Structures are given as structure tokens and as C-alpha cells.
């Protein structure tokens, strides 16, 4: 047996194999996390609004993720993970509607508006997004 191994085994026995495994896993996770690409500054997330999307039923507590000028994901807050580092727009109690009577779809251009009132009755547009960029 080599001299280095003789010193390691008593150290492992002293702190326990489970602790050594936890340390190794933590180091591996830190290395993998450091190697991932963070979301770009071009990722915007609209959170909490009611999405009125064409002929589809209204989607309450919606999450709309816009990345690089296109809709990257649409879903509920419970089912749609929000990318860390993204610009968040809290729109609770508001409405997200596609511009020009279109429909928002994953992979499509992010042309939408946020309204503070129900646009089916009377639209009060607060912000507009055209091709993934806020214009108002």
C-alpha cells in the first residue's frame, strides 16, 4: 500500500464515507454550474397576467418568456420555470394580448401588449412589445 493511501483511509473513516460523497457531489455541482451559460440580457419574462390569446381560453397567472425577439415559452406560473437572471415584468391583475389580433405562439415573434383593463371590454394599453422590444 502506498503511503498517501494509508493517510487518506483513516481520514475518510473519521469523517464518514457519506460526508466524503456529499463533498464530492457538491464540488461536481459547483463545477457544472460554473460551466453553464447564464440567460442573456435579452430574456424577458412577463409574470402573473391573464393571457388572452386568440380563440384559446384565457390563461390566468400566465408566464410568457421572450428570448431573442421570439416567444420562448407560454404557461402557468406553476408549470413554467422562470430563467434566472431574466428581466421580470410583474403584471398581476393585468392582461397580455397579442398585437394586431394575432396569436402568441412559442417560436413566433413577440408582438404583444399589456393592458391594465380587460381588452374584451375596453383596452387600456400600458406597454407594447414589438419583435421582442418594448416600444411604449
- Express each pLDDT in 110-126 by its tens digit: 999 999 999 889 889 99
CB 73 within 8 A of CB 80: yes
Domain ranges of the chain: 3-35, 43-134
CB 94 within 8 A of CB 116: yes
pLDDT at position 37 is 56
Say how many CA atoms lie within 13 Å of 78 toward its Cβ. 3
Place of cell 442573456: 40
Residue with the bigger pLDDT between 37 and 92: it is 92
Is the sign of the CA dihedral 106, 112, 118, 120 positive or negative? negative
Q: How sure is the predictor about 87, in pLDDT bands with cuts at 50, 70 and 90?
A: very high
Q: What is the CATH number of domain 43-134?
A: 2.30.40.10
3-class secondary structure per residue, the chain: CCHHHHHHHHHHHHHCHHHHHHHHHHHHHHHHHHHCCCCCCCEEEEEEEEECCCCCCCEEEEEEEEECCEEEEEEECCCCCCCCCCEEEECCCCEEEEHHHCCCCCCCECCEEEECCCCCCCCCEEEEEECCEECC
The average pLDDT across 31-48 equals 74
Cβ neighbour number for residue 130 with a 10 Å cutoff: 16
pLDDT at position 55 is 85
pLDDT at position 28 is 72
pLDDT at position 7 is 63
For the cut 80, the answer to whether the pLDDT of residue 33 exceeds it is no
Amino acid at each position: 500500500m502506498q503511503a498517501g493511501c494509508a493517510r487518506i483511509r483513516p481520514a475518510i473513516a473519521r469523517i464518514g464515507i457519506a460526508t466524503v460523497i456529499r463533498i464530492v457531489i457538491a464540488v461536481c455541482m459547483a463545477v457544472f454550474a460554473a460551466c453553464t451559460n447564464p440567460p442573456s440580457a435579452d430574456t424577458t419574462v412577463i409574470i402573473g397576467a391573464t393571457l388572452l390569446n386568440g380563440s384559446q381560453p384565457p390563461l390566468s397567472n400566465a408566464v410568457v418568456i421572450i428570448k431573442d425577439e421570439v416567444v420562448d415559452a407560454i404557461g402557468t406560473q406553476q408549470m413554467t420555470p422562470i430563467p434566472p437572471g431574466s428581466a421580470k415584468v410583474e403584471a398581476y391583475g393585468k392582461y397580455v394580448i397579442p398585437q394586431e389580433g394575432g396569436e402568441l405562439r412559442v417560436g413566433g415573434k413577440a408582438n404583444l401588449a399589456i393592458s391594465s383593463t380587460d381588452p374584451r371590454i375596453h383596452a387600456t394599453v400600458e406597454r407594447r412589445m414589438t419583435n421582442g422590444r418594448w416600444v411604449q
